[in-house]
Amino acid sequence: MWPYPKVVAHRGGGTLAPENTLAALRCGLKHGYRAVEFDVMLSRDGVPILMHDAVFGRTVRGVGKVSDFTAEELTAMDAGSWLGEQFAGERICTYRQALDFCRQNDIWMNVEIKPAEGFEVETGRIVAQLTEECFAHEVEEHVASADGAWADPALPLFSSFSFEALRAAQVAAPDIPRGFLTDTIENDWQQRLQELDAVALHTNHKYLSPIQAQAVKQAGYGLFCYTVNTPNRAAEILGWGVDGFCTDRIDLISAE
């Protein structure tokens, strides 16, 4: 059985707040969400920060690669004003800040490891190490009472489109569970999950069929979808056996 929340705020607060910032996490919480997805990549000096795009321009002004800047430089950058003047001054936040906020507010995390090209292994390893450090007590309790492959909701769930990043996370923190992200479900999906000892498949609901959903569930895996933005579509895929999904519309879809 899926031990995690069913509805998850995408990139912190969906489209209501600047993605992957503390403002987004606060916004999700304000809307009653106690479950969040966000994207993590590394700064030049190896500090995990919340960021979706590998290059500047969309949410943070500028040009060039995010991974060419240090954490000190990145955390001084405005990641809010692109969405509205009311968010001006909202900074890029570190993964450590997001972890602390979520722990303080009892928010479950789906941590999407989003490595810059060429940094897959390093990103997976560092994100996993920091997470394990923060959740050392929960990991210990989980190991003592482990029930099959499923983790308890006291632990976050890693996900990534990068097999290499997830593999590195698995090596660094084997007891923190993993979900493999794939836009479309390919023929080798089950082999990929087995290789990663993953608990779930995360996929784009737009390309998912009821037959595929059934196959994933019958194989004993969790099935998580992104990014579902209408209550009708949410009801439809949940009816196919999908366990959980993330949404940009935390104002339309109530957290449960």
- Interacting residue ranges for Mg ion, rule: CB under 5 A: 39, 112
Q: Which is nearer to ligand G3P, 26 or 52 (CB)?
A: 52
* Interacting residues with ligand G3P between 40 and 79 (CB under 6 A): 52
Question: Burial letters for 214-239: b for 16+ Cβ neighbours within 10 Å, e otherwise?
Answer: ebbbeeebbbbbbbbbeeebbeebbe
192 binds, among Mg ion, ligand G3P, none (CB under 5 to 8 A by kind): none
Closest distance of CB 224 from ligand G3P, Å: 8
Closest distance of CB 168 from ligand G3P, Å: 18
Q: Is 132 in the site for ligand G3P (CB under 6 A)?
A: no
Q: What is the DSSP letter of 146?
A: -
Cite the DSSP H helix spans in the chain. Answer: 22-30, 71-74, 95-104, 120-134, 136-144, 163-172, 189-196, 210-218, 231-239
139 binds, among ligand G3P, Mg ion, none (CB under 5 to 8 A by kind): none
Binding-site member from 87, 135, 226, 245 for ligand G3P (CB under 6 A): 226
131 binds, among Mg ion, ligand G3P, none (CB under 5 to 8 A by kind): none
Closest distance of CB 27 from ligand G3P, Å: 16
**Residue 10 falls in the annotated catalytic set:** yes
Q: What is the DSSP letter of 116?
A: P
Closest distance of CB 189 from Mg ion, Å: 19
Q: Are 195 and 180 in contact (CB under 8 A)?
A: no
Q: Are 157 and 202 in contact (CB under 8 A)?
A: no
Q: Is 206 helix (H, G, I), strand (E, B) or coil?
A: helix
Task: Say if residue 127 is exposed, middle or buried (CB neighbours under 10 Å; 0-12, 13-18, 19+).
Answer: buried
Binding-site member from 21, 94, 159, 162 for ligand G3P (CB under 6 A): 159
**Residue 205 falls in the annotated catalytic set:** no
Residues that bind ligand G3P (CB under 6 A): 10, 37, 39, 52, 112, 159, 181, 202, 226, 246
Q: Where in the sequence numbering do the catalytic residues fall?
A: 10, 52
